[in-house]
A = this chain, B = another copy of it.
Amino acid sequence: MRLFAVVLLLTAATASAQQPTPSAPPAIPTPADAIAAAKADDWADIDPADLMLFDFDGGRRVVIQLAPDFAPDHIGNIKLIARTGHWKSATIYRVADNWVTQWGAGEDEQERSPPLPKGVKERPDEEYSRTATGLTLLPSGSVDPYAQMTAFASNWPVAVHRDGRVNLAFCYGTVGVARGPAPDTGSGSELFAIIGTPARRLDRNFAAVGRVISGIEHLSALPRGRAPLGFYDKEQAKIPLRSVRVGSDLAPAQRPKYQVMKQTSAAFARYLELASHRRDYGYGYGYGSDGAALCAIPVPIRPKP
């Protein structure tokens, strides 16, 4: 019996290998094929100033790409916090299944933490949405329950609203700023990442500041918190943050090097089209799958070759 193996990463090479005879039907291209076929110019280097390396205890490295086009004040705060020692006692202290993993200087850690560094805006403006420019729309049919339409802007997934503004959507792996009930209470000293169903109801209500581009499993596969709301209880070992660095602060040879597929590239257009009309592998015999949710089409990211 063949194993269930429908994933985005099934490659064209694999598909070809399965169809050795001339009379076999042509391999149906997959979104992964579009990624594999992309040319060097279809990719943009990610500025190392927009990359952060979070090294948690136990060799758990999480790389986050920041989105300064969307939340510059919050991101300014986060970089200041990372550079000035406020997070020296920071931990992962909350893992709520199908919701978020959260870390930083939580209530318990604050007492042992240096104060927020000078220059941090303790109550930054909301930065929940911005004006819409340079949109790449999803193929027709990709409607959205939360917004007028969905698109990509600055190589990020966005929801487009009636007021003409867009927000960075809270998809799996999106990083947001934790806060209290009032909108201006999140400095950036506590962050969360989505580890389940897209948390789209956070759209325009919380500041999205980036996405995990490597090491998400170090956040998503952690033991779930047993206290209410998924906080770790007293018997659960919080996971210390050992080191945090902004990519551009490293020596040039040490800097993390990643690329994002340009939303304006031909490769991305092909990727979007294929992701919205699946007929490959396990989809080809039945109804196939037409349409795609914004969060089901992650923007391709890769280590720079």
Contact = CB atoms under 8 A, between A and B. Distances in A.
Interface of A: 1-7, 9-10, 94-100, 102, 106-107, 110, 126, 128-129, 141-147, 171-173, 178-183, 185-187, 189-190, 192, 195-198, 200-206, 216-217, 220-224, 228-231, 278, 281-293, 295-296
Contact of A292 (B94, B180, B201, B284): B201
A282 B100 CA distance: 15
Most buried by B among A97, A189, A224: A97
Given A181-B281, A198-B293, A224-B217, A145 B143 contact: yes
A2 B171 contact: no
Contacts of A96: 7
Nearest to A93: B3
Given A97-B220, A181-B284, A217-B224, 15 more contacts: A1-B110, A1-B180, A1-B189, A4-B192, A6-B206, A7-B96, A126-B286, A145-B291, A172-B196, A183-B286, A197-B198, A200-B296, A201-B278, A201-B296, A205-B283
A235 to B, nearest CB: 16
A203 to B, nearest CB: 7
Contact of A3 (B172, B190, B217): B190
A39 to B, nearest CB: 25
A62 B100 CA distance: 21
Given A4-B192, A143-B144, A204 B287 contact: yes
A146 B197 contact: no
A98 B216 contact: yes
9 residue pairs, one from A and one from B, having the closest CB atoms = A2-B180, A4-B178, A201-B289, A145-B291, A204-B287, A217-B224, A205-B286, A143-B143, A183-B285
